[in-house]
Amino acid sequence: MTIETQPTLEEFIDNWEETPEGNRKAFLKLKTHLAAKDGAVMTFIPRKGVTYSLRGTHPLQTSKSLFVMVDVIEDAPRWISVCFYGEMITDPDDLGDFVPEGLLGEDAMCFDIEEWDDDRVGYIESRIDEAFDAASKG
**What is the CATH number for 117?**
3.90.1150
Q: Indicate whether 53 belongs to any domain.
A: yes
When pLDDT is cut at 50, 70 and 90, the band that residue 5 belongs to is low
pLDDT at 4 > cutoff 60: no
For 124-133, write each residue's pLDDT tens digit.
999 999 999 9
In the predicted structure, residue 107 carries a pLDDT above the cut 90: yes
DSSP letter for each residue of 1-17: --TTTHHHHHHHHHH--
Straight-line distance from the first to the last Cα atom of the chain, in angstroms, rounded to the nearest whole number: 20
Q: Average pLDDT of 72-98? A: 96
Give me the numbers of helices (H) and strands (E) for the chain, helices first please.
3, 6
101 found inside a domain: yes
Average of pLDDT values for 98-106?
93
Q: How far apart are CA 126 and CA 132, in angstroms?
A: 10
Distance CA 94, CA 132 (A): 20
Residue 36 lies in a domain: yes
Residue 50's DSSP bridge partners are none
Whole-angstrom distance, CA of residue 24 vs CA of residue 26: 5
Residue 81 CB partners (closer than 8 Å, separation 6+): 70, 71, 73, 110, 111, 112, 113
* pLDDT band (50, 70, 90) for residue 136: very high
CA–CA separation, 100 vs 129, rounded Å?
A: 22
- Count of domains for the chain: 1
Cα separations in angstroms, 111 against 75, 89, 137: 17, 12, 23
Residue 1 resides in a domain: no
Query: Above 90 in pLDDT, residue 6?
Result: no
Range(s) of the domain holding residue 43: 6-135
- Whether pLDDT at 70 is above 80: yes
Q: Is the pLDDT of residue 58 over 90?
A: yes
pLDDT number for residue 62: 85
